[in-house]
Amino acid sequence: MTAEAADEAADEAAVRAALEEAADTLRRLPAGLRRPRLTSWPAVVRDSAGLLGPSAEGRTRPAAPTPGAIDRMDRALAWLLACDGEARRLVWARACRVPWRRLADLDGRSHVTLRKIVARGHDQILRRLAEG
């Protein structure tokens, strides 16, 4: 990691915030191009609601992330490689804001144990960033 990245993630709270931003940025990225149906008929709009698309039903896509947010996401996702497999999975789940109760139910261990594993993962990230 660069010295700039190490300064950016000087403590656990900054690492946690950067990982949460990375999860949000990843969620806001477009899903990619969908494969169009092969047809010779043009698309027909039946009413004005059809012009608006899915947003007319109350579901809107979040705004696309900025290029800077994507760069920060790439850097933060690389930090996860500093964690062991168990910690990596839980650190990312917490960055995605999965509640402790749900994690405890899925994992079968108490939230106290899971919190210790997540703290260990953050420490591993901080050590890697400190090494440079």
Average pLDDT, rounded, for the chain: 81
Over the stretch 79-88, which tens digit does the pLDDT of each residue have?
A: 999 999 899 9
Over the stretch 3-56, which tens digit does the pLDDT of each residue have?
A: 554 454 468 899 999 999 999 999 888 876 445 555 565 555 555 555 555 554
CB-based contacts of 72: which residues, under 8 Å, 6+ apart? 18, 21, 22, 25
How far apart (Å, rounded) are the C-alpha atoms in residues 115 and 56?
A: 41
- Sign of the four-CA dihedral 77, 79, 80, 81: positive
Burial readout 4-23 (b: 16 or more C-beta within 10 A, e: otherwise): ebeebbeeeeebbebbebbb
- pTM for the whole structure: 0.71
Mean per-residue pLDDT for 94-107? 95
The per-residue pLDDT for 12 is 87
